[in-house]
Amino acid sequence: MQELLQYLFSGMTNGAVYAVIALGFSMLYNSTDLINFAHGEFVMLGALCMVSLTAGAGIALVPAFFVTVAVVAAAGMLFERLAIRPVRNPQPVVLIIITVGASIFLRGTGMLIWGKDAHSIPPFLDIAPIDIAGARLLAQSVWILVIVTALTAGLHLFYKKTLTGKAMTACAVNKKGAWIVGIPFKWMVLLAFGLSTGLGAVAGASIAPITMSSYDMGTILGLKGFCGAMLGGLGSLWGAILGGFLLGILEAMGVGFVSSGFKDATAFLLLLLVLYVRPQGILGTAEVKRF
């Protein structure tokens, strides 16, 4: 029992991280129909920025957190402006390849700025892990959970209740139609990139205290987040959250009850199974030809 609970908690910590990253993927897809394979690298930028600001420059955690998100979101917008927008023939495949290239570029840049070593910083609040029936839950994990829930609720409201959010959805549904009714399409894409990479930074900045951050951490995190997004249904916000947590928890259970050697295999096998049965993901709606 104690073990089961501990596996669950471990899974939730990882799952929450995957969820925020999945949220970034899903959000961007929702607004631009694009998958940004450099997303994991923005998570890395978030984590390492946080390390530099707190451990390096000695800035308090809360302002450092917001500065990190702002800086990374700005980097994301710059990326959109310099690498995505100028593409003359913006076919999905071309854009995706560009994001793959960007991820390699960002990884290199990260290595030049922060070096090849791993870095670590203290948790947001230095309190002992919470003990529930003999299983320990990290205070930092609770933080991440709170952040994830708040972000998803915020994004949900943004899409459903604000004009900008609705305009963004409209752009994804039909670019030309949105343009005809006067929605500034280019600004929407720029904003979507800023928001999505900002989400990546949130993920990075929140995991920096529980694990080690290094320039090459982004690839696998991005992949797991992408898995989470696919699992839940690409484009669905709540699906991203569900997929992320499911992936994290199943990984932990896989370690606990099968073997730690099969940790990643368990997760990806599950992804294959789900996509076989429900290609649109758990919460995704089946592809309908929109308009």
Nearer to other proteins, 9 or 25 (CB): 9
Shortest Å, Cβ 216 to other proteins:
6
Nearer to other proteins, 27 or 135 (CB): 135
Nearer to other proteins, 139 or 282 (CB): 139
DSSP string, the chain: -HHHHHHHHHHHHHHHHHHHHHHHHHHHHHHHS---TTHHHHHHHHHHHHHIIIIIT---HHHHHHHHHHHHHHHHHHHIIIIITT-SS--HHHHHHHHHHHHHHHHHHHHHHH-SS-B----SS--PPEEETTEEE-HHHHHHHHHHHHHHHHHHHHHHH-HHHHHHHHHHH-HHHHHHTT--HHHHHHHHHHHHHHHHHHHHHHHTTTS-B-TTSHHHHHHHHHHHHHHH-TT-HHHHHHHHHHHHHHHHHIIIII-GGGHHHHHHHHHHHHHHH-TT-SSPPPP----
Nearer to other proteins, 2 or 285 (CB): 2
Nearer to other proteins, 51 or 199 (CB): 51
Nearer to other proteins, 87 or 111 (CB): 111
CA distance 50 to 43: 11
Shortest Å, Cβ 203 to other proteins:
11
Note the Cα 97 to chain centre separation in Å.
Answer: 19
Shortest Å, Cβ 13 to other proteins:
6
Rounded to the nearest 10 degrees, the angle between the axes of helix 92-114 and helix 39-51 is 20
Shortest Å, Cβ 230 to other proteins:
20
Residues that bind other proteins (CB under 8 A): 3, 6-7, 9-11, 13-14, 17, 111, 116-120, 122, 129, 131, 135-136, 138, 207, 210-212, 214, 216-217, 220-221, 251-252, 255-256, 260-261, 263-264
Shortest Å, Cβ 128 to other proteins:
9
Shortest Å, Cβ 163 to other proteins:
38
Nearer to other proteins, 8 or 34 (CB): 8
Shortest Å, Cβ 270 to other proteins:
16
